[in-house]
Structure 1
Amino acid sequence: MAYTEVTVGDLIKLLSACDRSAPVRQAMNPFFPMAHRLERVVQAVDETGQPVVYLAEGRNADTQLGHLPPEVAVALAWQAPVQAPPRRPRRIAGDQ
C-alpha cells in the first residue's frame, strides 16, 4: 500500500476551513492517544535533499495536555466508538 504524505499545500487547504483563532494541537500515539501543544514550525532538508517541514511540540512541562478527547480518537479511527453499558433497573433494599 502506497503512503502519501500531507504536503504544506494540503495542510493549508485543510486548515483554511478551520477557525483561525483556534489553537493547533497535535494528536500522537494511536495506542495511547495524547494531545500536545505545537510550538514551532521548522523547514529543513531531508536525507534525499528534498524540503520537509516539521511541526514541533514545545519543551515546557505542560506541552503534553493529556489524553486525546475520545471523539477525536474515534474520528481518527484510533479507537472504536464506545457506548455505555445498558442500565439495569435499580434494586430496592430488602428485595430479593
Structure 2
Amino acid sequence: MEHTDMTVGDLIDRLSTHDRSTPLRLGMNPFFPMAHRLEQVVQAVDETGQCVVYLAEGRDADTQLGHLPHEVAVALAWQTPVQAPPRRPRRRVGGE
C-alpha cells in the first residue's frame, strides 16, 4: 500500500476550518492511543533530499496528556465504536 504524505498546505487547509485559539494535540500509537501536546515545528531535509516539516511533542513531563478520548480513537479508526456493557449491580449476601 502506497502512502501519500500530507503536505503543509493540506494541514493548513484542514486547520483553517477551526478557531485559531483552539489547542492543538497529537494523537499517537493506535494500539494504545494517547494524546500529546505539540510544542515544536521543525523543517529539515530527509535522507532523499526532500524538505520535510516535523510536528513534535514537548520535552516536559506533562506533554503526554493521557489517553486519547474514545470518540477520537474511533474517528481515527484506531478503535471500534463498541463500548463495554454497563456493569450490573453486585449481588449481596442474603439476596439483598
Superposition TM-score, scaled by structure 2 size: 0.87
User: Displacement, 1:61?
Assistant: 0.3
Question: Counterpart of 1:3 in 2: which secondary structure?
Answer: coil
The size of the alignment, in residue pairs, is: 96
Amino acid at match of 1:66: G
- C-alpha change, 1:47 and 1:87, in structure 2 (3 Å) is closer
Partner deviation per Cα, 1:37-86 (whole Å, 9 max, x = no partner): 00000000001111000001000000000000000000000000023526
Q: Residue 64 of structure 1 corresponds to which residue in structure 2? A: 64
Superposition TM-score, scaled by structure 1 size: 0.87
Q: Residue 10 of structure 1 corresponds to which residue in structure 2? A: 10
Q: Residue 79 of structure 1 corresponds to which residue in structure 2? A: 79
- C-alpha change, 1:57 and 1:86, in structure 2 (3 Å) is closer
User: Displacement, 1:18?
Assistant: 1.1
- C-alpha change, 1:45 and 1:85, in structure 2 (3 Å) is same
Q: How large is the Cα RMSD of the aligned pairs?
A: 2.2
Question: Counterpart of 1:74 in 2: which secondary structure?
Answer: helix
Question: Counterpart of 1:59 in 2: which secondary structure?
Answer: coil
